A and B are shown apart, each in its own frame.
Chain A
């Protein structure tokens, strides 16, 4: 076996300062071939760093920061106005929506099955306004875009009211894998049951 073999795969990721790989550092001191290869990676790193992206300029970033601030302010206002009627059974709504999303995604059926949507409609009629911004629409009538907005809307309210219901601090529902979605559904159902019991 070539004595350099154990080191070759570590050369590209080696950083002479800051990160520790003393064994490799010692080998580099003794082995000109590996040292030369390591230097080729350093040169490549420098070349890559020189691939500058266009700088849109300070004004652009100022405008971008303002746009973000505007969205945050809107979120804050929406949160305050919605909090009053924020229902303890919101988790149930979320669970219903997630069930819909789960069914449509993993069973590849475009619509929720009848028992689920009937239950959802019943819930909607009892809790009018909970599922804004699409009042009067049943879940089975929602387009994927409307459903996504709805899910986002519920996600925001859940986070404003009870962050513990969401499993990922940075995750998006539509980015969850099957098992993650299952876990989230389970948690929402548990929360829903707990809240109903408490009520």
Chain B
């Protein structure tokens, strides 16, 4: 992602070009959509949040001060909208047992085992506290540096790293429990 290109498009939008805003949308709609989908899990909701994110960004663009990257700024808007969405719908936390059928781990074929591991990790990710989940989504899936994540979440770099550490440790512990066949 080219910051100079973003700046050029943003300045063009502010000068009245809606076409330039389309460039920004096309450049960032996928990361925003996947961030929202990672947070909300429902494609329709992720789509809604993505659209709202860009409309809000358009409205507030004149307030963008280039103190962070445009992507960081968009992610901050998207995260706020996801939080609102999550508060509105109050999704129940799925239990692992809802997603993973019982049965002997050993008897499964290799493909099934892989699917099982993925489902387990997916479910473990779902169980993270909201802030830790946000940090993981931004760090792992958006590959964002910690200092940018701190900007998105209006936090400090240290706090973000601590959250990330706790998240990774919890995930690893859950996986290890799985390996030892302990109940979750």
**A positions within 8 Å CB-CB of B:** 9-13, 18-19, 40-41, 44-45, 47-51, 53-54, 56, 61, 64-65, 67-69, 71-73, 75-76, 155-156, 159, 163, 166, 168-172, 174-175
Count residues of B near A (Cβ-Cβ below 8 Å): 53
Contact A12 B63 (CB under 8 A): no
Select B84's contact among A61, A76, A175, beta carbons within 8 Å: A175
Residue B62 interfacial (CB < 8 Å): yes
Shortest Cβ distance from A166 into B: residue: B63
11 new A-B contacts, CB < 8 A, other than A13-B161, A169-B63, A172-B80, are A13-B164, A19-B146, A54-B43, A65-B25, A65-B26, A68-B50, A68-B51, A69-B18, A75-B58, A166-B63, A169-B65
CB distance from A184 to the nearest CB of B (A): 14
Contact A170 B25 (CB under 8 A): no
Shortest Cβ distance from A171 into B: residue: B80
How distant is the Cα of A64 from the Cα of B44 in the complex, in angstroms? 11
Contact B125 A12 (CB under 8 A): no
How distant is the Cα of A125 from the Cα of B171 in the complex, in angstroms? 59
Contact A72 B21 (CB under 8 A): yes
CB distance from A33 to the nearest CB of B (A): 15
Shortest Cβ distance from B50 into A: residue: A64
Residue B96 interfacial (CB < 8 Å): no
**B positions within 8 Å CB-CB of A:** 18, 21-22, 25-26, 29-30, 33-34, 37-38, 43, 47, 50-51, 54-60, 62-65, 73, 76-77, 80-81, 83-84, 117-118, 121-122, 125, 136, 140-141, 145-146, 161-162, 164-165, 167-169, 171-172, 175
Residues of chain B within 8 A of A72, CB atoms compared? 18, 21, 54-55, 58
Contact A51 B59 (CB under 8 A): no
Residues of chain B within 8 A of A41, CB atoms compared? 168, 172
Contact B56 A172 (CB under 8 A): yes
Residues of chain A within 8 A of B76, CB atoms compared? 170
Select B140's contact among A10, A45, A61, A168, beta carbons within 8 Å: A45
| Total A-B contacts with CB atoms under 8 angstroms apart | 118
How distant is the Cα of A91 from the Cα of B43 in the complex, in angstroms? 38
Given the known A-B contacts A44-B175, A64-B47, A170-B57, are A12 and B168 also in contact in the complex, defined by CB atoms under 8 Å?
yes
Residues of chain A within 8 A of B34, CB atoms compared? 53
How distant is the Cα of A64 from the Cα of B83 in the complex, in angstroms? 21
Contact B80 A175 (CB under 8 A): yes
Contact A51 B168 (CB under 8 A): no
Residues of chain B within 8 A of A50, CB atoms compared? 118
The contact sample of 21 A-B pairs, CB cut-off 8 A, is A9-B162, A10-B161, A12-B168, A13-B168, A19-B145, A40-B172, A41-B172, A44-B168, A47-B117, A53-B38, A56-B33, A61-B29, A65-B22, A73-B18, A155-B59, A159-B59, A166-B63, A169-B64, A170-B60, A170-B76, A172-B84
Residues of chain A within 8 A of B50, CB atoms compared? 64, 68
How distant is the Cα of A75 from the Cα of B36 in the complex, in angstroms? 24
How distant is the Cα of A69 from the Cα of B168 in the complex, in angstroms? 39
Residues of chain A within 8 A of B63, CB atoms compared? 159, 163, 166, 168-170
